[in-house]
Chain A
Amino acid sequence: MEIDPLPNGTGSTAATTTTETTVTATLPTAVSNTTPSSKLSQLTESLKLEHQFLRVPFEHYKKTIRANHRTAEKEVSSVISSVADVADSNEISKDDAVLSLTSLVSRLQGLKRKLEEGSRTENLQVQNCRARLDHLESVDAENLSEWNNVRFKRILVDYMLRMSYYDTARKLAESSKIEELVDLEVFQEAKKAVDALKNQEVGPALAWCAENKSRLKKSKSKFEFQLRLQEFIELVRAENYMRAILYARRYLAPWGATHLKELQLVMTTLAFRSNTECTKYKVLFEPKQWDFLVDQFKQEFYKLHGMTLEPLLNIYLQAGLSALKTPYCFEDDCTKEDPLSQENFRKLAMPLPYSKQHHSKLVCYITKELMDTENPPQVLPNGYVYSTKALKEMAEKNNGKITCPRTGLVCNYSDLVKAYIS
Chain B
Amino acid sequence: MELHSLKDSFDRVAKKRKVSYSKTHEVTDLIVQEINKAIKVMQSSTLEYKSELAELKKKLQEVSPLNQLEGAQKKLNIALIKYPKALEKVFNRDISKAYQNIEFDSPIVNQIIASHFYRQGLFEVGDCFIAEAQDAEAAVAMRSLFQELYQMLEAMKSQNLEPALKWAAANSNKLKENGSDLQLRIHHLQFVKILQKGSRDEALKYARTNFASFAGNHMAEIQKLMGCLLYSDRLHESPYAHLLSPTNWDTVTDELTRQFCNLLGQSYESPLSATIAAGIQGLPPLLKFMTVMAGQKHEWQSMKQLPVPVELDKEFQFHSVFVCPVTKEQSTDDNLPMLMSCGHVLCKQSINKMSKNGSKTFKCPYCPTDIDLTQCRQLIF
A34–B35 Cα gap in the complex (Å)? 71
Q: Are A358 and B17 in contact (CB under 8 A)?
A: no
B108 at the interface (CB under 8 A from A): yes
Does B231 count as interface, using CB distance less than 8 angstroms? no
A163 to B378, CA, bound (A): 51
Secondary structure at the A interface, as helix, strand, loop or mixed, is helix
Minimum Cβ distance to chain A for residue B354 (Å)? 17
Whole-angstrom distance from the CB of A367 to the nearest CB of chain B?
12
CB-CB under 8 A for A362 and B31, given A137-B1, A337-B318, A344-B111: no
Q: How far is the CA of A215 from the CA of B14 in the complex (A)?
A: 22
Contacts A5-B366, A9-B342, A87-B54 known; A111 to B28 CB distance under 8 Å?
yes
Contact B112 A55 (CB under 8 A): no
B84 lies within 8 A of chain A by Cβ:
yes
Please choose the segment from B38-46, B143-151, B162-170, B206-214 that sits at the chain A interface, where 4 or more of its residues have CB less than 8 A away. B38-46
Tell me the complex Cα distance, A318–B100, Å: 8
B3 touches A136 (CB 8 A): yes
Interface residues of A in 9-53 (CB under 8 A from B): 9-11, 32-34, 42-52
Size class of the contact patch on chain B: 35 or more
Contacts of A353 in B (CB 8 A): 300, 303-306
Contact residues of A between 305 and 331, Cβ < 8 Å to B: 306, 308-310, 313-324, 326-329
| Min CB gap B27→A, angstroms | 7
The answer to whether A317 touches B275, judged by C-beta atoms less than 8 angstroms apart, is: yes
With the chains together, A45 CA to B287 CA distance in Å?
11
Are A308 and B95 interface neighbours, CB within 8 A? yes
Judged by a CB distance under 8 angstroms, whether B373 is at the interface is no
* A9 to B356 CA separation, bound complex (whole angstroms): 25
Q: Do A360 and B35 touch (CB < 8 A)? A: no
Q: Are A105 and B17 in contact (CB under 8 A)?
A: no
Q: Is A101 positioned at the interface, with any CB of B under 8 Å from its CB?
A: yes
Does A6 lie within 8 Å of B344, measured CB to CB? yes
For B108, list chain A residues within 8 Å (CB). 344, 347-348
What sequence of 0s and 1s flags, for each residue 351-381 of chain A, a beta carbon within 8 Å of any chain B beta carbon? 1111111111111010000100000010100
Q: Is the CB of A171 within 8 A of B379?
A: no
Complex contacts, A385 vs chain B, CB 8 Å = 379-381
Number of chain A residues whose Cβ lies closer than 8 Å to a Cβ of chain B: 132
Q: Please, which residues of chain B bring their CB within 8 A of the CB of A152?
A: 273, 276-277
Is B197 an interface residue when CB atoms closer than 8 A count as contact? no
CA distance A34 to B317 in the complex (A): 13
Query: Are B39 and A102 in contact, with the CB atoms below 8 A?
Result: yes
Note all chain A residues with C-beta closer than 8 A to B115: 344
Residue in B267, B311, B345 whose CB lies within 8 Å of A419: B345
Q: Specify which of B43, B100, B345 is in contact with A98 (CB 8 Å cutoff).
A: B43
Q: Which residue of A lies closest to B18 (CB)?
A: A119
Q: Could you tell me if B32 and A420 are in contact, using CB atoms closer than 8 angstroms?
A: no
Interface-lining segment among A70-78, A191-199, A238-246:
A70-78
Q: Are A97 and B319 in contact (CB under 8 A)?
A: no
Contact B14 A323 (CB under 8 A): no
Q: Kindly list chain B residues whose C-beta atoms are within 8 Å of the C-beta of A47.
A: 1
Cβ contacts under 8 Å, A348 to chain B: 104-105, 108-109, 112
CB pair B276–A105 under 8 Å, yes or no, is: no
A-B residue pairs in contact (CB < 8 Å), sample of 21: A45-B284, A49-B284, A72-B28, A76-B27, A80-B60, A83-B35, A94-B42, A101-B42, A137-B1, A137-B3, A165-B133, A308-B96, A319-B278, A329-B318, A345-B271, A348-B108, A355-B305, A357-B330, A362-B322, A419-B379, A422-B325
Closest 4 CB pairs between A and B? A320-B279, A323-B282, A316-B279, A339-B271
Known: A58-B10, A352-B102. 6 other contacts (CB 8 A): A111-B28, A137-B3, A315-B279, A319-B278, A348-B104, A419-B345
Interfacial residues, chain B to chain A (CB-CB below 8 A):
1-3, 6-7, 10, 14, 17, 20-21, 24-25, 27-28, 31-32, 35-36, 38-39, 42-43, 49-50, 53-54, 56-57, 60, 65-66, 69, 73, 76, 80, 83-84, 87-88, 90-96, 98-100, 102, 104-106, 108-109, 111-113, 115, 122, 124-125, 128-129, 131-133, 265-269, 271-284, 286-287, 300, 303-314, 316-323, 325, 328, 330, 332, 339, 342-345, 366-367, 369, 377-381
